[in-house]
């Protein structure tokens, strides 16, 4: 089987920053509560006219410029998101149009916060089963567009941003050593957007009741997140035939600092190996891991040969973890 590797990364966080103090003027909350319960200080918010694909296009252009990637060398575009530009066609189609990478397959993956890891897995499958050589895998959101800004229990948690990775077959030691993805639909109602799809099409009533926004039972989700992220990470480590002691970096989905700390503790990964940027980004769902990878890459934190564990959990519930040799 062909091993695939990430050869380039990019990301984009919208310029507008919403602070905890800003939020305290919108709902009954405060910086202390948000910081203590979530670790979040700031989140980036897309402009009124910016859709998810617009953020993706900037992320891809940054990636192409930095790594000298020619758009015509891309064989497929995969976009992991739950905040597509439109319900159809896919967000990948709009990215394709803007970047001018025409005639290659372009499609979205809906796996919430685990979407980027699902995307890596699908890209690996395509490279193994077709003549495709180089695939763009995006993960990211404009969650601000489906946030209920009157609900303090959710509006403090999320942010906007997109990350991207270029993957291709590896001919050296670098590459994705293991990927483990899964889902359990039994608890879908704990974290979802109730209206806007075919179950509850948009009506005056659904809009009035804000059913097209994020609905979440935070406490329940929290418990599943911690257990599932541990389980997924252990499975990916086992598939890679290594232990958590072998990894240089643990890059968890940035949902909540308490989920990150507890998962790292369960996995026996010391704090200095855990990448955290949730204070600046909040939860960008599918954007979380590719944004983190790009930031670390640009900061020179990722060295060739390093073993990295990425780990995510999201609505569905879905999960995914992978061990990567950089
Ligand atoms: N500011 C101030 N108070 C708030 C608040 C806010 N933004 N949001 C909720 N509260 C209040 C609640 O109303 C509640 O008040 P009450 O005791 O008077 O009823 C109190 O704080 C405690 O609420 P609770 O929901 O029990 O808090 P918590 O410790 O579980 O923290 C979350 C809430 C959302 C931070 C936490 O459950 C969480 O992070 N869950 C996981 C969410 C997540 O990451 N989802 C995405 C997964 S990919």
The Cα 69–Cα 64 span in angstroms is: 5
Percent residues over pLDDT 90 in the chain: 100
Which residue CA neighbors atom 3 of ligand 1 most closely?
Answer: 29
Confidence band for 103, pLDDT divided at 50, 70 and 90? very high
| Structural domain ending residue among the three candidates 147, 171, 195 | 171
What is the whole-number distance in angstroms between the Cα of residue 44 and the centre of ligand 1? 21
Angle at which helix 115-129 crosses helix 288-298, to 10 degrees, equals: 80
This prediction has a pTM of 0.97
The Cα 307–Cα 33 span in angstroms is: 35
Q: What is the mean pLDDT of residues 251-272?
A: 97
Confidence band for 266, pLDDT divided at 50, 70 and 90? very high
Domain that holds residue 47: 4-171
Average pLDDT, the chain: 97
List pLDDT tens digits, range 27-47.
Answer: 999 999 999 999 999 999 999
List pLDDT tens digits, range 291-316.
Answer: 999 999 999 999 999 999 999 999 99
Q: Are residues 277 and 143 in the same domain?
A: no
- Predicted pLDDT at 78: 98
Given the CA of residue 37, which atom of ligand 1 is nearest to it? 35
The Cα 323–Cα 326 span in angstroms is: 10
Q: What is the mean pLDDT of residues 11-23?
A: 98
- Predicted pLDDT at 29: 97
Q: Are residues 162 and 182 in the same domain?
A: no
The Cα 78–Cα 11 span in angstroms is: 15
13: nearest Cα among 140, 199, 190:
140
For a mutational test of ligand 1's pocket, the pick from 20, 29, 41, 153, i.e. the residue with the most ligand atoms closer than 8 A to its C-beta, is: 153
- Predicted pLDDT at 123: 98
Q: What is the mean pLDDT of residues 193-204?
A: 97
How many domains does the structure of the chain reveal? 2
- Predicted pLDDT at 120: 98
CATH of residue 16? 3.40.47.10
């Amino acid at each position: 089987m062909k091993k695939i590797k990430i050869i380039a990364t990019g990301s984009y966080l919208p310029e507008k920053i919403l602070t905890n103090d800003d939020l305290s003027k919108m709902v009954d909350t405060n910086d202390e509560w948000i910081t203590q319960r979530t670790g979040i200080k700031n989140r980036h918010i897309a402009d009124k006219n910016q859709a998810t694909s617009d953020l993706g296009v900037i992320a891809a252009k940054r990636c192409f410029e930095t790594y000298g990637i020619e758009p015509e060398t891309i064989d497929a575009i995969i976009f992991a998101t739950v905040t597509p530009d439109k319900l159809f066609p896919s967000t990948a189609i709009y990215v394709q149009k803007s970047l001018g990478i025409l005639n290659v397959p372009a499609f979205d993956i809906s796996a919430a916060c685990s979407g980027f890891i699902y995307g890596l897995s699908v890209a690996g499958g395509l490279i193994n089963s077709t003549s495709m050589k180089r695939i763009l895998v995006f993960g990211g959101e404009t969650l601000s567009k489906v946030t209920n800004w009157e609900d303090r229990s959710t509006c403090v948690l999320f942010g906007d941003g997109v990350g991207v990775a270029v993957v291709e077959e590896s001919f050296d030691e670098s590459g994705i050593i293991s990927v483990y993805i899964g889902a359990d639909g039994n608890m879908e109602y704990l974290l979802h957007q109730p209206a806007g799809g075919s179950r509850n099409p948009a009506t005056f009533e659904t809009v009035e009741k804000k059913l097209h926004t994020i609905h979440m039972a935070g406490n329940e989700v929290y418990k599943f997140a911690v257990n599932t992220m541990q389980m997924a990470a252990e499975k990916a480590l086992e598939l890679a035939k290594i232990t958590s002691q072998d990894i240089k970096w643990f890059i968890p989905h940035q949902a909540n600092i308490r989920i990150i700390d507890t998962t790292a503790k369960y996995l026996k990964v010391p704090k200095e190996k855990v990448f955290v940027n949730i204070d600046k980004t909040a939860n960008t769902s599918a954007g979380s891991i590719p944004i983190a990878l790009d930031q670390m890459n640009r900061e020179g934190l990722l060295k060739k040969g390093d073993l990295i564990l990425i780990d995510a959990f999201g609505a569905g519930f879905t999960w995914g973890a992978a061990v990567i040799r950089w």
